[in-house]
């Protein structure tokens, strides 16, 4: 995700239009909520008009404004105003209820949709994109930024609509009663609106910076929590606290700059409001004393001036909330608009039809930074065959696995499953055909049973236990505090490395894929655990195509074929015994790992 700078930040108005286009499925609710806000405000300003009419009745009696509508008796006029007041307050309260329900429901629904759409789109993005993305920033977008928009919709949207309604509604009454006073009373409004736009322009880049600092702060927290064991082992608690203090101070400073602008705006609004109110009070009073304006009308104007102008004091706060929401919305929509380069194909391949034949034809691959990893890879794997890929670190072994799962696409050449180019297959069908057991096992925060059943969510408990037995995990699981219901913690941290690996194997057993990829599955465990895992894997690979990516050559001695990679090219291939007898690089690696004395290396054997 590219950071936003002042030079390329879209305006808040354009972001709002993007948001409205996104929310087209909620338009009916938006209209109803907006209508409720308008009607609530209209009924809210009517009591001031009724008070003025009551004063008019008291002063003018049979010549009052209401007398012109056929209610001659002054007491009957007061009774009528009393009934009307009850009706107005009841309707104002009713629409207050409607607007709160509608706006809050809209905010909940829209933030729910945005969070799910942003997360769903993020899941579809290419693995290369995640290599440059920050976990903390993504969490901040999906959580804090979405919540920021929710806060604006909860109250800010209604406030903006009601301010506009007040200006139009009160303005109509003013111009009806006295255009001269209306002009005086409304003189501050352009100043207030221009001030709001000035504030909006000044605040926009500041709030973009605030959201950027939130992302950096979230990244720091996420990394430190994930690496707490490393922090403790190197006694870097004080250093990390100091780094967090710097990140937090930067966030506070960014917020302080925005708050300073907002705080300066409020006194300006108050003085403009004071000018409008005093003008109405003095000039309206003079017209009333001169007999050009009756007392009831004067009362209406004085009351409505306050009703019109005083809510504008909160305009700065509302615009502040709006700018924060638009800065957050900008980041959410930017995430949703990130293009997906690895598109799913159109050909379906149900898992029960997969034979497991794989073919690489002149496959080349280079990462986005230009580093070439694979060069002209050609290999054919028959259904049910077990092959192994070995080589030094950086030779391209794990890249082959990533290409098979379409985490990346080949730069050139093609990879086929059962004769079909992977790019033509529907991605869910393709990945359903593969089972992956990797060196870096990721377990989710949940029970052991839930993690084993991750690939088959509706598996029965008997099937889960059978998979665990096949992975030689059943015995240690029963010894856990709650057995299969034991919570493993984030990333499975409550289990040992070997236990996590066996749960991962059980997960693959339960998925029962036609093609199995073992990526350094035993490289990080002790010898005893490795032996147990090897027994599990020997059962697991029966009857399915298996690709073993290995560092320890002892684990792949029985593979049907072994491919040795160097600098992204296959330089040797064959069975284990044949490769050892060739006295080539594979033979040297084997002698190194078995402890034989070697006087001369034809290459650097260090992995």
- What is the helix (H) or strand (E) element at residue 421, kind and residue range? strand 420-421
- Report DSSP state, residue 155: I
Q: Is the pLDDT of residue 28 over 80?
A: yes
Q: Name the least confident of 2-6, 219-223, 452-456.
A: 2-6
Q: Which two three-digit tokens encode residue 144? A: 């804090």
Q: Could you tell me the pLDDT band of residue 426, with boundaries at 50, 70 and 90?
A: very high
Q: pLDDT at position 5, please?
A: 37
Q: For 426-479, give the DSSP string.
A: -HHHHHHTEEEEESS----SSBHHHHHGGGSTT--HHHHHHHHHHTT-HHHHHT
Q: Which two three-digit tokens encode residue 481? A: 């505090």
Q: Is the pLDDT of residue 68 over 70?
A: no
d(CA 148, CA 329): 8
Q: Name the least confident of 101-105, 249-253, 571-575.
A: 249-253
Q: Could you tell me the pLDDT band of residue 102, with boundaries at 50, 70 and 90?
A: very high
Q: pLDDT at position 225, please?
A: 76
- Report DSSP state, residue 346: S
Strands of 182-253, DSSP E = none
Q: Name the least confident of 12-21, 123-132, 196-205, 368-377.
A: 196-205
Q: Is the pLDDT of residue 1 over 60?
A: no
Q: pLDDT at position 221, please?
A: 80
Q: Could you tell me the pLDDT band of residue 527, with boundaries at 50, 70 and 90?
A: low
Greater pLDDT, 110 or 205? 110
- Report DSSP state, residue 73: S
Q: pLDDT at position 605, please?
A: 45
Q: Could you tell me the pLDDT band of residue 319, with boundaries at 50, 70 and 90?
A: confident
pLDDT per residue over 74-97, tens digit each?
A: 788 788 888 888 999 999 999 999
Q: Could you tell me the pLDDT band of residue 444, with boundaries at 50, 70 and 90?
A: confident
Q: Is the pLDDT of residue 4 over 70?
A: no
The alpha carbons of the chain give a radius of gyration, in whole angstroms, of 36
- pTM attached to this predicted model: 0.75
The full 3-state SS of 507-528, as one line of letters, equals: HHHHHCCCEEEEECCCCCCCHH
Say if residues 428 and 344 touch (Cβ distance below 8 Å).
Answer: yes
Q: What is the mean pLDDT of residues 263-292?
A: 77
Q: pLDDT at position 2, please?
A: 42
Mean pLDDT score across all residues of the chain:
82
Greater pLDDT, 394 or 353? 353
Residues 6+ apart with CB under 8 A from 187: 275, 276, 279
Between vectors from CA 365 to CA 359 and to CA 371, what angle results, nearest 5°? 160
Q: Is the pLDDT of residue 311 over 80?
A: no
Alpha helices in 479-561 (DSSP H): 497-511, 527-540
Q: pLDDT at position 61, please?
A: 74
Q: Which two three-digit tokens encode residue 130? A: 């995640």
Q: Could you tell me the pLDDT band of residue 601, with boundaries at 50, 70 and 90?
A: very low
Greater pLDDT, 268 or 248? 248
Q: Which two three-digit tokens encode residue 288? A: 């009333």
Between vectors from CA 202 to CA 198 and to CA 204, what angle results, nearest 5°? 115
Q: Which two three-digit tokens encode residue 230? A: 């490393």
Q: Could you tell me the pLDDT band of residue 382, with boundaries at 50, 70 and 90?
A: very high
Q: Is the pLDDT of residue 428 over 50?
A: yes
Q: pLDDT at position 65, please?
A: 67
d(CA 477, CA 458): 20
Q: Name the least confident of 293-307, 358-372, 427-441.
A: 293-307
Place of tokens 């009308």: 297
Cα 172 from chain centre: 45
Say if residues 515 and 354 touch (Cβ distance below 8 Å).
Answer: yes
């Amino acid at each position: 995700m590219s950071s936003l700078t002042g030079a390329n930040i879209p305006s808040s108005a354009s972001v709002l239009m993007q948001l409205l286009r996104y929310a087209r499925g909620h338009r009916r609710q938006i209209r109803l909520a907006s209508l409720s806000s308008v009607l609530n405000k209209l009924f809210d300003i009517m009591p001031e008009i009724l008070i003025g009419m009551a004063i008019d009745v008291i002063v003018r009696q049979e010549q009052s404004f209401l007398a012109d509508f056929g209610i001659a008796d002054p007491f009957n006029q007061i009774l009528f105003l009393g009934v009307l007041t009850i009706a107005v307050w009841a309707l104002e309260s009713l629409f207050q209820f409607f607007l709160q329900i509608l706006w809050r429901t809209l905010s909940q629904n829209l933030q729910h949709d945005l969070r799910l759409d942003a997360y769903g789109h993020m899941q579809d993005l290419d693995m290369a994109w995640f290599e440059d993305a920050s976990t903390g920033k993504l969490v901040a977008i999906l959580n804090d930024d979405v919540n920021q928009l929710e806060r604006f919709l909860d109250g800010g949207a209604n406030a903006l609509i009601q301010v506009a309604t007040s200006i139009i509604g009160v303005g109509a009454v003013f111009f009806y009663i006295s255009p001269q006073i209306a002009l005086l009373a409304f003189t501050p409004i352009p100043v207030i609106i221009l001030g709001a736009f000035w504030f909006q322009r000044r605040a926009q880049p500041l709030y973009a910076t605030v959201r950027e600092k939130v992302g950096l702060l979230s990244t720091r927290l996420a990394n430190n929590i994930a690496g707490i064991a490393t922090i403790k082992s190197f006694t870097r608690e004080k250093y990390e606290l100091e780094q967090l203090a710097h990140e937090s101070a930067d966030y506070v400073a960014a917020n302080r700059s925005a708050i300073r602008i907002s705080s300066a705006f409020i006194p300006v609004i108050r003085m403009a409001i004071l000018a409008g109110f005093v003008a109405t009070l003095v000039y309206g009073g003079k017209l009333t004393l001169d007999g050009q304006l009756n007392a009831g009308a004067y009362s209406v104007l004085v009351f409505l001036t306050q009703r019109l102008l005083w809510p504008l004091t909160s305009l700065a706060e509302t615009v502040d909330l709006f700018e924060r929401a638009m800065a957050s919305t900008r980041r959410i929509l930017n995430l949703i608009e990130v293009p997906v380069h690895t598109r799913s194909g159109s050909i379906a391949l149900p898992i029960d039809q997969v034979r497991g034949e794989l073919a690489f034809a002149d496959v080349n691959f280079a990462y986005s930074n230009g580093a070439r990893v694979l060069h002209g890879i050609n290999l054919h794997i028959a259904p049910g065959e077990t092959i192994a890929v070995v080589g030094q670190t950086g030779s391209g072994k794990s890249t082959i696995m990533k290409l098979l799962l379409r985490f990346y696409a080949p730069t050139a050449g093609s990879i086929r499953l059962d004769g079909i180019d992977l790019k033509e297959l529907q991605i869910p069908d393709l990945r359903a055909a593969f089972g992956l057991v990797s060196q870096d096992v990721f377990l989710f925060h949940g029970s052991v049973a839930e993690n084993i059943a991750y690939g088959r969510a509706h598996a029965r408990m008997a099937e889960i236990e059978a998979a665990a037995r096949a992975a030689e995990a059943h015995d240690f699981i029963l010894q856990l505090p709650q057995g299969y219901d034991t919570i493993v913690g984030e990333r499975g941290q409550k289990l040992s490395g070997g236990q996590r690996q066996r749960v991962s194997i059980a997960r693959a057993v339960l998925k029962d894929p036609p093609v199995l990829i073992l990526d350094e599955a035993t490289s990080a465990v002790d010898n005893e655990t490795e032996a147990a895992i090897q027994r599990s894997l020997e059962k697991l690979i029966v009857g399915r195509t298996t690709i073993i990516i290995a560092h320890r050559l002892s684990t792949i001695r029985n593979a049907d074929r072994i491919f040795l990679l160097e600098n992204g090219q296959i330089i040797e291939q064959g069975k284990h015994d044949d490769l050892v007898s060739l006295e080539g690089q594979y033979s040297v690696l084997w002698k190194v790992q078995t402890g034989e004395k070697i006087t001369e290396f034809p290459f650097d054997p260090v992995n």
